[in-house]
Amino acid sequence: MNVKQENTTVGFIGLGSMGAGMAHCLVRKGFYVHVYARRPEVLSSFVEAGATAHDTPAALGSSCDIVVLSLSDASAVEAVLFGNNGLAQGLRPGALVIDTSTVAATTAQAIGERLAKQGVGFLDAPVSGGQAGAQAGTLACMVGGEAQQVQACHAVLSAFCQAITHVGALGAGQTVKACNQVAVAAAMLGVADALALARAQGVDPNIMRDVLLQGSARSFPMEKHAPRIIQESFEPGFRARLMRKDLRLALDTAHASGVELAAAPVAERLLDAMCNDERGDWDWCGVALEVGKPAEKTH
């Protein structure tokens, strides 16, 4: 039997493909977990596991010391926090909110300032590692905020993260997450190009992948995503429309900083083509199908 973690009550809002696994990790680690979802049917498995369900974010907030958010975008985060019966209405002074969603750094900073006025702490703590990592509790987390608050939340984050790094002030977590998405997108384009070239030359893409995994071309997309691309199996772990959203945030940040990026704009354009072709709910590795189409002949 798990011993409840120091009587800490933890709320969780956002029980989607990532959040569900993270919340179940908290239950398994022995925290007193409180949950809210817009669709009540989502809550049943958590209640059966021992969590307490609430009808509104405000009701959840009034019962919790720490609340974790895992939502799709900034508008969803702001609606949960500050909308009708929003979380902020129920939070007590001294409570902490951990936002694992991917939003702009400026959004995180604005939310933190607003919550600070009522004595509530806020950390931007986006995660990386996909749905499998969320379920296994092996995510990587990049946290922005005050060091004391990061330390206070360490046990909660450790329930679903194996790597927790305090990267700087509020908003820095989102900046590092943007860097992560830019780097992963570039690696995915490299894998897509390699697969397209192998096929064009009549080389078995599985053999090509096996060889590349033994050398300097080894990468997470080559290891984890290439088999799905070869098999054209695109059940979503991370949806294309969400990756497009993340890259657009990164590109906006780069533009505001006066920095021109190379691979991210290409990846965003290809993801946009996917989404416009009603494939936005495919796994984002399906972007590889946009690569390798016949080149236009030049004269």
Q: Are 31 and 12 in contact (CB under 8 A)?
A: no
Q: Give this prediction's pTM.
A: 0.90
Average pLDDT of span 272-282: 97
pLDDT tens track for 43-54? 999 999 999 999
Q: What is the residue whose two structure tokens read 């992948």?
A: 209
Active-site residue (options: 4, 29, 117, 177): 177
Could you tell me the residue ranges of all domains in the chain? 9-169, 175-290
Residue 296 has pLDDT above 70, yes or no: no
Structure tokens at 161: 């993260």
Average pLDDT of span 1-13: 71
CATH architecture under which domain 9-169 falls = 3-Layer(aba) Sandwich (3.40)
Distance CA(252)–CA(258), nearest Å, equals 10
Residue 299 has pLDDT above 80, yes or no: no
Q: Are 126 and 141 in contact (CB under 8 A)?
A: yes
pLDDT tens track for 222-263? 999 999 999 999 999 899 999 999 999 999 999 999 999 999
Question: 230-237 contacts: CB < 8 A, separation 24 or more?
Answer: 230/195, 230/205, 230/206, 232/289, 234/279, 234/282, 234/283, 234/285, 234/286, 235/283, 236/17, 236/281, 236/282, 236/283, 237/17, 237/130, 237/131, 237/132, 237/283
Please report, rounded to a whole number, the percentage of residues in the chain having pLDDT higher than 90: 92
Residue 284 has pLDDT above 50, yes or no: yes
Torsion of CA 85, 90, 95, 100, to 10 degrees: -20
Tell me, yes or no, if 177 is annotated catalytic: yes
pLDDT score for 2: 43
Q: How confident is the model at residue 61 (pLDDT cuts 50, 70, 90)?
A: very high
C-beta atoms surrounding 270 within 10 Å = 23
Q: How far is CA 289 from the centre of its chain?
A: 23
Q: Which CATH superfamily is domain 175-290 in?
A: N-(1-d-carboxylethyl)-l-norvaline Dehydrogenase; domain 2 (1.10.1040.10)
C-beta atoms surrounding 139 within 10 Å = 25
pLDDT tens track for 149-205? 999 999 999 999 999 999 999 999 999 999 999 999 999 999 999 999 999 999 999
Structure tokens at 115: 């919550």
